[in-house]
Amino acid sequence: MGKLNFKYDVVIIGGGPVGIYTSIKLAKEGLRVLVIEEDAQIGKPRFCTGLISRESFERFSLPKEAIEKEFNCASVFSPLGSKASLKSKSIQAYVTDRTKFDFSLYNMAKEAGVEFFLSCHCRGLKVYSDRVEAAVSYDQGDTTVRSEAAVLSTGIKYNLHRSLGFSVPGNFLDCSQVQLAGESGSEIEIFLGNSIAPHSFGWVVPLEKKRLRVGISTRKNSPVFLRSFLKHLKLKDSITLGRYFTDIMRRPIPLEPIKQTYADRMLVVGDAAGQVKPTTGGGIYFGLLCADLAAQTLAKAFKKGDFSGKFLSHYETNWKKQIEFDLTMSIYLRKLIARFNDEQIEELVKFISQDNVQQLMEKYADFNHHGRFIKELIKMPLFWKHLYHMVNVK
């Protein structure tokens, strides 16, 4: 960490991938950018399944050295053992080393001229008519950093939101994950069932060198369900488990966006804005897409000299055009399936296995944008016939 300057064009609070990507885009516009990050090292500690779409790497020019393995399909298991395949040319994804991924983005940002202030806590932000002031604490004491504008990219930390007039997401999942020695098949495996992961799902992601990432998302008590899930997996002939490489890590994941993502001289991006896929909880693609739009909006604000909330509201208009349909359809589907009991989930997995649904998936399924597939699915008369049967299973 070099000497801290006290006047910047943009200050970004949060040094995760979305915050760093935003900083890169702004620096390439010729702006002086500071990223303030609480942790001493970029990329640690890190909770993430590490699945990032191929489209994300191509669209946002992401660091490919972080890629560990490629997938284009997944298997879904019902509570009673039925299996359905999820496969499409549009769901290709990479599993990544997230620490390496974040650190590579950090190096890209440094090369672009972004400044970083690590091991630094932002105690508060104050917005004035002509500036933003960030009160920060670091190893040498407290100080104030001034900027023309600020971006909240704080991930799941919302302590600054209320003081700035922003809401917080109204709905969360409780997620836990562990990385351990072991072997499974060549596909991502998803496990449904109220005894496994109430209201959500469990996952097994195979890595290189006989390692696995195993996790659970649910409404509450995810570490308890994860330990039970690991016992369940030990009974399966197709999966072997060994020693832990990491302790169980836990974090909430927002499922709905906050009510407003802009204010005078302020924008909110990524998990801090609730820009997350409600179906899977993945936040990288939506977060980077919105970071791109945030940087574009701020660059225009500098050219016009207009940092009002009215002008910055173009950011929210633009990101909603891109992903609001996907968010709406995905939230609807998640809430519907979350009410299913195990017998209804069993029927759902059998329905997904049918040839016509598989053909629809091959045509419309997309790793990042789920809305179109859901829309086409609910247009099928067969869907409503099976849904009626599912909701009436006792």
pLDDT digits (tens, 9 = 90+) for 102-135: 999 999 999 999 999 999 999 999 999 999 999 9
Tokens of 135: 């009160």
CB atoms within 10 A of CB 64: 12
Predicted confidence at residue 1, as pLDDT, reads 45
CATH architecture of 172-253: 2-Layer Sandwich (3.30)
Q: Is the pLDDT of residue 4 over 70?
A: no
CATH architecture of 7-47+99-169+258-330: 3-Layer(bba) Sandwich (3.50)
Predicted confidence at residue 366, as pLDDT, reads 87
Predicted confidence at residue 44, as pLDDT, reads 76
To the nearest whole number, what is the mean pLDDT of the chain?
A: 92
Please report which confidence band the pLDDT of residue 81 belongs to, taking 50, 70 and 90 as the band edges: confident
What confidence tens digit (pLDDT) does each residue in 258-302 have? 999 999 999 999 999 999 999 999 999 999 999 999 999 999 999
Lowest mean pLDDT among 85-89, 152-156, 238-242: 85-89
Task: Please report, for the chain, the start and end positions of each structural domain, with discontinuous segments joined by +.
Answer: 7-47+99-169+258-330, 172-253, 339-391
Q: Is the pLDDT of residue 68 over 60?
A: yes
Q: Is the pLDDT of residue 146 over 90?
A: yes
CA distance 95 to 213: 10
Q: Which pTM was predicted?
A: 0.93
Give which of 380, 389, 344 is closest to 359, Cα–Cα: 380
Average pLDDT of the residues in 344-357:
89
Letter string b/e over residues 179-213, b meaning 16 or more CB atoms within 10 A of that residue's CB: bbebebeebbbbbbbbebbbbbbbbbbbbeeebbb
Cα-Cα-Cα-Cα dihedral sign, residues 271, 273, 278, 283: negative
Please report which confidence band the pLDDT of residue 390 belongs to, taking 50, 70 and 90 as the band edges: low
